[in-house]
Chain A
């Protein structure tokens, strides 16, 4: 990441209307949940929304500190449960995942990308050099007169040579396969954890095809 101090401010640092004392207290007492999205397609996040109305009852017990829909770069306080979707494809992913591990009690790998790399891991079969060439320098969809530029900037995180599953970087506690897993599967895991039960994903809803 860049070491140069920039004149930038993140949206969550902007002044905002504070919650009233009662609501804030009620929210702070709930089980804090956060999700992060690394290198993936966000399909698992959409599956999260497929829990539909089942989420309503769940929200009596849980509060979402950060999700892929909010613009929070790093979770502001410790969370009980962290969902990780997407694999590791650049240095920013590694930093984000390590910070998440240090600040969550339980981490869950959600989806094929987090579990083994998924579609981004298709580039593991070619060298990074060939991969960049195909994407930027010798792309078949390039216009003939187009200037050949390899994107390079201090704000762009360096790409790792291979795409890695999350559990090869930090310890992951549970795995939820699928591309993406069903909303029902996510609900089952979340419901088990929120109610203090041992996570048990039944065979009928474990799908990775």
Chain B
């Protein structure tokens, strides 16, 4: 059913039920996100895509569009909220970009630039979570995990469909876990996919390291904004 919604005062014609985050991207409006991948069901874990819908803050990946919807994206309060969410992630884990293999192809870093983050308004916690390098192909740098759960849901054993990654514990003691038996059945391609799906430097595929020089890394060739607006991610 064809409907009309308004984003930042601009009237947009679209189909009912489509996710707001996709409608915005198709109409050239950038909304930052970390846990949403176009074409895959939404997880709604990071909340970085929050925008104002009829005056209320809502995660745009989990909001289907309906007729007469009024959306505000280019709004100081929305921008500050998105920035605060990113800053929160930076202070919760240990995110040292210069020493991270993911630098330049990291979604969190790219989104931090897009939201104009300079410093975190929250106290840096320096959370200590033991890293796990037991698996054959995967290195788990746990203190960088943002609990987006992309790997938990979308990286599964190719034969049985069982989950390879999971989250143990609750609250401040929760951490990402890897099933070593299943992980060792992964192909190199799947390990690469797991590393690429991770929006931070938590899942690292071994033997890759710093494979691209500064200046030719993923988000330096084409920024996350351009990629999202083209519908690539």
Q: Which residues of B contact A208 (CB under 8 A)?
A: 97-98, 109, 112
Check: B103 CB closer than 8 A to any chain A CB.
yes
Classify the secondary structure of A's interface with B. Answer: mixed
Classify the secondary structure of B's interface with A. Answer: loop
A117 to B124, CA, bound (A): 9
Q: Which residue of A lies closest to B110 (CB)?
A: A209
- Whether B119 pairs with A167 at a CB distance below 8 angstroms is yes
A176 to B117, CA, bound (A): 10
A177 to B109, CA, bound (A): 13
A-side interface residues, number (CB < 8 Å): 25
Q: Which residues of B contact A165 (CB under 8 A)?
A: 119, 124
Known A-B contacts A125-B128, A179-B98; the reply to A209 vs B104 at CB < 8 A is yes
- Whether A118 pairs with B116 at a CB distance below 8 angstroms is no
B233 vs chain A, min Cβ distance (A): 19
Check: B88 CB closer than 8 A to any chain A CB.
no
- Whether B118 pairs with A206 at a CB distance below 8 angstroms is yes
- Whether A209 pairs with B120 at a CB distance below 8 angstroms is no
A111 vs chain B, min Cβ distance (A): 10
Q: Which residues of A contact B114 (CB under 8 A)?
A: 203
A31 vs chain B, min Cβ distance (A): 23
B-side interface residues, number (CB < 8 Å): 22
Check: B169 CB closer than 8 A to any chain A CB.
no
- Whether B123 pairs with A168 at a CB distance below 8 angstroms is yes
- Whether B97 pairs with A209 at a CB distance below 8 angstroms is yes
A119 vs chain B, min Cβ distance (A): 8
Check: A175 CB closer than 8 A to any chain B CB.
yes
Q: Which residues of B contact A209 (CB under 8 A)?
A: 97-98, 100, 103-104, 109
A125 to B127, CA, bound (A): 8
- Whether B124 pairs with A116 at a CB distance below 8 angstroms is yes
Q: List residues 122-179 of chain B with CB under 8 A from any CB of chain A.
A: 123-124, 126, 128
Q: Which residue of B lies closest to A116 (CB)?
A: B124
A126 vs chain B, min Cβ distance (A): 9
Q: Which residue of A lies closest to B121 (CB)?
A: A167
Check: A201 CB closer than 8 A to any chain B CB.
yes
Question: Residues on A close to B: CB < 8 A?
Answer: 109, 112, 115-119, 121-122, 124-125, 162, 165, 167-168, 175-177, 179, 201, 203, 206-209
Query: Could you list 22 A-B pairs, sorted by A, with CB under 8 Å?
Result: A109-B119, A116-B90, A116-B119, A116-B120, A117-B124, A117-B126, A125-B94, A125-B128, A162-B126, A165-B119, A175-B119, A176-B118, A177-B118, A177-B119, A203-B113, A206-B118, A207-B113, A208-B97, A208-B109, A208-B112, A209-B103, A209-B104
Contacts beyond the supplied A179-B98, A207-B113, A209-B109: 6 A-B pairs with Cβ under 8 Å = A116-B120, A118-B96, A121-B124, A203-B116, A206-B113, A208-B112
